[in-house]
């Protein structure tokens, strides 16, 4: 979740229009808003989903082995073939995500993707058990940071993803500067 939040802060601050829309939504919360009010915010949800789409923390699914011969999209797989799904490549399919290399949270407001199209937490019987907690935590932490601190990216150059074991993290981290501290929550 920390890696996903790093990516989210990067994209939010890299694209001023995303930051503005998100801050407008966050500052519209009533004074007595609770965690579930934050969790249900549509644009914050779209920002988190787009973050997990463009740089999913886990790039691959766990491997599976077929017991018998199977046809997989025109490829004949003999028994006992290891098959590994690539979440990263699925999320980069232009037929599903036009301009897939661009950060566009609106795509999640305009369309609901199937579990076979958007799968940052895997899927099926092997769906990540921590998915709900990770999504809740990500939204609450991002809202808390954005409402309490004014930040800016310390470096202007684009950040690339780098493999760290099984995860895809920002190469060199995301360096940010604290401009101002204020309290909204």
Q: Which two tokens mark 24?
A: 């407008």
DSSP state of 100: T
Which position has the higher pLDDT, 34 or 185? 34
pLDDT in tens, 41-97: 999 999 999 999 999 988 988 888 999 999 988 999 999 999 998 999 999 999 999
Give the confidence band of 183 by pLDDT, cuts at 50, 70, 90.
low
Longest Cα–Cα distance of the chain, Å, equals 61
**C-alpha span between 85 and 90 (Å, rounded):** 8
The secondary element (H helix, E strand) that includes residue 82 is strand 82-83
pLDDT, residue 135, reads 96
> Please, are residues 109 and 46 in contact by the beta-carbon 8 Å criterion?
yes
DSSP 8-class letter at 158: P
Domain boundaries, the chain: 2-59+87-181
Give the model's pLDDT for residue 168.
Answer: 86
pLDDT > 90 in the chain, percent: 79
Please state, in angstroms and rounded to a whole number, the distance separating the CA atoms of residues 97 and 80: 32
Residue 184 — very low, low, confident or very high, per pLDDT cuts 50/70/90? low
Has residue 24 got a pLDDT over 80? yes
* Mean pLDDT for the stretch of residues 111-115: 95
2-59+87-181 homologous superfamily: Cytochrome P450 (1.10.630.10)
Structure-model confidence comparison of residues 182 and 74, the more confident one? 74
pTM of full prediction above 0.85: yes
Task: Mark residue 132 as left, alpha or beta (left: phi above 0; alpha: psi -120 to 50; beta: remaining).
Answer: alpha
112 vs 63 pLDDT, higher one: 112
Q: Are 134 and 4 in contact (CB under 8 A)?
A: yes
Alpha helices, DSSP H only, in 28-74? 35-39, 42-54
Helix (H) or strand (E) holding 72, with range, is: strand 70-72
Give which of 185, 169, 174 is closest to 13, Cα–Cα: 174
pLDDT digits (tens, 9 = 90+) for 129-160: 899 999 999 999 999 999 999 999 999 899 99
In angstroms, what CA-CA distances link 176 with 49, 120, 121? 22, 25, 27
């Amino acid at each position: 979740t920390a890696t996903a939040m790093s990516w989210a802060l990067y994209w939010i601050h890299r694209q001023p229009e995303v930051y503005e829309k998100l801050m407008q939504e966050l500052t519209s919360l009533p004074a007595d808003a609770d965690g579930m009010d934050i969790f249900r915010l549509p644009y914050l949800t779209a920002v988190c989903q787009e973050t997990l789409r463009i740089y999913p923390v886990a790039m691959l699914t766990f491997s599976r082995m077929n017991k018998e011969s199977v046809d997989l999209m025109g490829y004949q797989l003999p028994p006992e073939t290891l098959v590994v799904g690539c979440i990263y490549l699925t999320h980069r399919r232009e037929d599903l995500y036009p301009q897939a290399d661009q950060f566009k949270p609106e795509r999640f407001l305009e369309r609901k993707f199937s579990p076979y199209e958007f799968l940052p937490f895997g899927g099926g019987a092997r769906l990540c058990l921590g998915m709900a907690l990770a999504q809740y935590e990500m939204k609450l932490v991002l809202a808390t940071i954005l409402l309490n601190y004014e930040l800016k990216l310390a470096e202007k150059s684009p950040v690339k993803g780098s493999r760290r074991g099984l995860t895809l993290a920002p190469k060199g981290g995301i360096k940010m500067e604290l401009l101002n501290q204020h309290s909204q929550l």
